[in-house]
Amino acid sequence: MEQLYIGKVVGTHGIKGEVKIKSVSSFAAERFKKGKKITLTKGAETLTLECLRHRQHKGVELVTFKDHEDINLVEKYRDYEIYGDYDPNLLGEDEYFYQDLIDCKVYNQHEEYMGIVTSIMENPRYDILVVKKEDGTQLLIPYIEAFILEEKISEKYIRFNQLEGM
């Protein structure tokens, strides 16, 4: 099954093996519930662990993995990226994962082709679409309602309001 980036281990909590995860998933309770398997990756190392317990605390997800209930067993996972199964059943109608935006063709309000979405930058106020233009340069588009005029994600199409100077 396809994997989806859902967060990163940013530290540990206490001595009983809890890791702090900065989650980018809107479905943390589902992603980290007991019995769910997640993949941890750092460089060439990849491992799959089973979630034993999950709770939220001060803006992070605290997760304990099965057979890893000791701080000495989980300290090494700091800075590991976390991936979960791409599960479209978590989504409602007209919802999508940010990963679905990658490779969307982007057009301005005049239907001029601008490029394709290559990534999404996280920003405290709003996310930003990174669009690779045909000349190799990048166009940064705030991913907010004021800029996005139309989205047809299943068709890989986004139209935005291009301001002068963009």
108-141 per-position pLDDT tens digit = 999 999 999 999 987 888 989 999 999 999 999 9
Q: Where in the chain is the domain with CATH 2.30.30.240?
A: 98-160
How far is residue 41's CA from residue 35's CA, in Å, rounded to a whole number? 19
Three-class DSSP category at 62: strand
What's the chain's average pLDDT?
91
Quick: pLDDT tens for 58-76: 989 999 999 999 999 999 9
Q: Which CATH architecture has domain 98-160?
A: Roll (2.30)
pLDDT at 95 over 80: no
pTM value surpassing 0.95: no
What is the per-residue pLDDT for 79? 96
What is the per-residue pLDDT for 26? 78
Three-class DSSP category at 1: coil
How far is residue 133's CA from residue 162's CA, in Å, rounded to a whole number? 14
Give the pLDDT band (50/70/90) at residue 18: very high
The β-bridge relationship of strands 105-108 and 157-160 is parallel
Fold category of 3-90 in CATH: Elongation Factor Tu (Ef-tu); domain 3 (2.40.30)
How much is the average pLDDT of 17-23? 95
How far is residue 84's CA from residue 98's CA, in Å, rounded to a whole number? 14
How far is residue 45's CA from residue 47's CA, in Å, rounded to a whole number? 7
The β-bridge relationship of strands 60-65 and 18-23 is antiparallel
